[in-house]
Chains A and B, each alone.
Chain A
Amino acid sequence: MADTALASSDYAIEVNDVSMVFNMASESLTNLKEYFIKIMHHELFFKEFRALKHISFKVGRGEVVGLVGTNGSGKSTMLKIIAGVLEPSEGTCTVRGNIAPLIELGAGFDPELTARENIYLNGSLLGYTKTFIDDHLQDIIDFAELENFMDMPLKNFSSGMVARIAFAIATITEPDILIVDETLSVGDVFFQEKCERRIQHFIESGDVTVLFVSHSIEQVKRICQRAVWIEKGDLRMDGPVDEVCEAYQRQFD
């Protein structure tokens, strides 16, 4: 029923001819002196670095897609563009629905505040309403298994504990799109499994679109149906997960 209603927008993510150009010189230019020196030497705006070159792909609603590629090949840049944090230099990226970004868990947490306060702060940044957080606070605490630490400042938490809370907040509701960037490698084994189960649960529901980045090819094969291989900014391959992963691994032989 819902499917027919959404037929006009079957794609959750549409990446259309996206290129991303970074200005190498601009990376380190943050003061006036350097700026004028570079202008004098006519060095400004010349060194360009294309992190992504004319990438196009579409992800259907409910699809689970893995992004593979060696370090520095543009995976994270691609994810940031999809997450709406980075704007592409060329091309367009359309995203339909709300995103739960599991990118570097704990971004936006304040070490001085307690865990409880951080849940509200982070929840607001994710676009939740106050009443929603009020209603689900206990669920978040239960999932993170940190009942007794809720009123402790976050600076006293271990990174694993922070990751637990961050994961719990981001996934407390079923998002339309879930972006998972190497997040499953944090925390202890038990929590990792718990996280994977929850992601698996989303996948099985069939409504959540998942973009998955991992250097563990095994994990990508286990979780995803389809894979996109980006290498040095080029879209190398896009297809069923087994074929792409096999081709990806073959390059090392």
Chain B
Amino acid sequence: MADTLKAPTTTHAQTDFQKDVFILKQLVSRDFKRKYRRSVLGVVWSVLNPLLMMIVMAIVFSTIFAQGRNGSVSPEMYPLYLIVGNVTFAVMSDSTSQALVSIIENASLLKKVKVHRFVFPVQKVLFSLVNFGFSLVAVAIVMLWFHVLPTWHLIWLPLGLLLLMLFCAGLGLLLSSLTVFFRDVMHLWSVVITAWTYFTPIFWTDDFIKMMHPALQMCMYGNPMYNYLNFMRQIFLWQTNPEPITIALCAGWALVMLALGYFVFHKLEHKFILYI
């Protein structure tokens, strides 16, 4: 008798939080194994990919669009400017496109086991951190190549990443719940990501943006991703503390998006099961 009374305390997670953390760990490790197992170059690709992308972009944008020729970003700094912007933006684009389908992909599971539904989109956002980790190796290689030594300003990196994660989690929650009801969101989102790529200063430099139409400038500097890119560039490239206004905007957008995502997800999640 005493044994059965004690049983639940030892076998099962004590709190929902404990259970969710274990599930998140397991799901992240599943994704990791699925992506990298039995692929010799798996991890290498994760480092090579941002490097190769950077090289292509550097060639295209410095020659055709004359980015990084003068003014705000020097030619030597332009590749670093590109790669830092690119890998930061990739965290958002990867995690949201993955989170988008996370609920419908786990339909069979959600129909049978009682589990907090938010763990699926959130897990995808956490997993994108793994990829970002590998991308950092690529960034380090570029810094080494151009003799840019990292400074202590990198201690800001965890905060920047945390805020970016929160922003992505909010967006992921929002998109994953909308996708349950309208599968079109899947197709739309890839278009949105492409547009977003062009309307964020990933490859455009400040002096070039200043020549753009005021409305375009608004798009470039007003969009939330600009702040996260700016944050990262300040600590990696300009090697300064992030400006207070940048931190404030990053935090502000993160909270707004998280609140919106949570609200929509929470409102809709009860109906998921009827549509998946």
Contact = CB atoms under 8 A, between A and B. Distances in A.
Interface stretch (A67-75, A119-127, A140-148, A243-251): A119-127
Contact of A99 (B18, B25, B110, B114): B114
B56 interface: no
B188 to A, nearest CB: 9
B199 to A, nearest CB: 24
A191 interface: no
B37 to A, nearest CB: 8
A167 to B, nearest CB: 14
A120 B108 contact: no
A40 interface: no
Given A107-B111, A127-B19, A86 B184 contact: no
Most buried by B among A29, A35, A130: A130
A86 B110 CA distance: 9
Contact of A176 (B8, B34, B184, B275): B8
Interface residues of A, number: 45
Interface size class of B (residues with CB under 8 A): 35 or more
A117 interface: yes
Given A32-B182, A128-B13, A173-B7, A85 B112 contact: yes
Contacts of A104: 108, 112
A35 B181 CA distance: 10
B274 interface: yes
B26 interface: yes
Contact of A22 (B18, B110, B274): B274
Interface of B: 1-2, 4-5, 7-8, 10-13, 18-19, 22-23, 25-27, 29-30, 33-34, 37, 106, 108-115, 181-184, 270, 273-275
